[in-house]
Homo-oligomer: A and B are copies of this chain.
Amino acid sequence: MSAVTTVSLHSLNTADKAAFTVALGEIYEHAPWVAEAVHGQRPFASLAALHEAMVSVVRAAPAEQRMALLKGHPDLAGKAARAGAVTSDSKAEQASAGLDRLSEAEYANFHRLNDAYRAKFGIPFIVCARRHSKDSILRHFEHRLQNSVTAEPKAALNEVFRIAALRLDQRVEAPDKLKVHGRLSTHVLDTHAGHPAAGVKIELAELAAHGGPRAIASGTTNLDGRTDHPFISRRPIPIGRYELRFHVGEYFTRRGAPQSDPPFLDVVPVRFDVAEPESHYHVPLLVTPWSYSTYRGS
């Protein structure tokens, strides 16, 4: 099943057990029994109800089965992922956090952490990669390694549920939405002229502790001073550091605003960290050729 194939909640509600289990068999990694177990509860009034039912099945399962579920997950940036021996979901998820393009040193670091984690907890390290950048996964990994052996399986299971929610969100079309989406948007107001700044080129980059910035998105403001689409939406915003770059110098030059030569402000960088992947980060710019303000807005 490819990432883009979707199924409607309605058709799931009328599917027989085999079709239902095929459709949702990979929501939980290598654990089609979760889908199978909820088939009898059809019809589901909402996607949230389906998700809750599957979560309940996992929570109610015997401890050994839950541990088997955890153990069924691939190592992050591990040999299986490198060799392609993971579900297509896992592959895409790991790629979303940049784990498919690690340096040898980073790969070695993950290898070391994976070994330490397995040695301490007896399970692979599981994290909902779509909620993270590479840096935040590493920080999170180091942090989780400090957990007690009783606390950590709960933390791991929590991540399994997050992964499942995002997979359901991608796979199933339903009238309701799971709360798994964030939004990163911006707005440019020209306080020199007193109206929205149209035609301002903006780039969004992800910054990493090592290595240069990675371009994520770019756009140009419309007549309302906004980009036509948010830079990130319909997915969690990976926890991490970002930089918006507003090309205001060329904007004010085009408008004929008096500036120094070269202009005092050319490309304005606004750097910020995302801590809550499911939140709305609205980061506007109020700008003249000589000043600007930015803030976490709403």
Residues of A whose CB lies within 8 Å of any CB of B are: 189, 191-196, 224-225, 239, 241, 258, 260-269, 271-273, 275-276, 286, 288-298
Contacts and interface: CB of A to CB of B under 8 A. Distances in A.
* In the A-B complex, the 10 residue pairs with the closest CB atoms: A194-B290, A291-B295, A260-B275, A191-B291, A293-B293, A262-B273, A196-B298, A290-B296, A194-B296, A269-B269
Counting every copy of the chain, the complex holds 4
Nearest to A258: B193
Nearest to A271: B269
Contacts of A298: 189, 195-196, 224-225
Nearest to A269: B269
A83 B192 CA distance: 49
Contacts of A265: 271-273
14 contacts: A262-B273, A262-B275, A263-B273, A263-B275, A264-B273, A264-B296, A265-B272, A266-B273, A269-B269, A290-B295, A291-B293, A292-B294, A293-B293, A293-B294
Contact of A194 (B191, B262, B289): B289
A192 B189 contact: no
Contacts of A189: 295, 297-298
Contacts of A276: 260
Nearest to A295: B291
A286 B288 CA distance: 12
A266 B241 contact: yes
B264 A191 contact: no
A275 to B, nearest CB: 4
A107 to B, nearest CB: 24
Contacts of A264: 194, 272-273, 275, 296
Which among A225, A276, A288, A291 has the highest number of chain B CB atoms within 10 Å? A291
A80 to B, nearest CB: 30
B291 A273 contact: no
Contacts of A241: 262, 266
B286 A273 contact: no
A225 B282 CA distance: 14
A192 B264 CA distance: 13
Given A195-B298, A288-B288, 6 more contacts: A191-B288, A224-B298, A267-B271, A269-B269, A291-B296, A293-B293
A22 B275 CA distance: 64
Given A271-B269, A272-B265, A295 B286 contact: yes
A144 to B, nearest CB: 15
A208 to B, nearest CB: 13
A90 B236 CA distance: 56
A78 B276 CA distance: 55
Nearest to A275: B260
Nearest to A197: B298
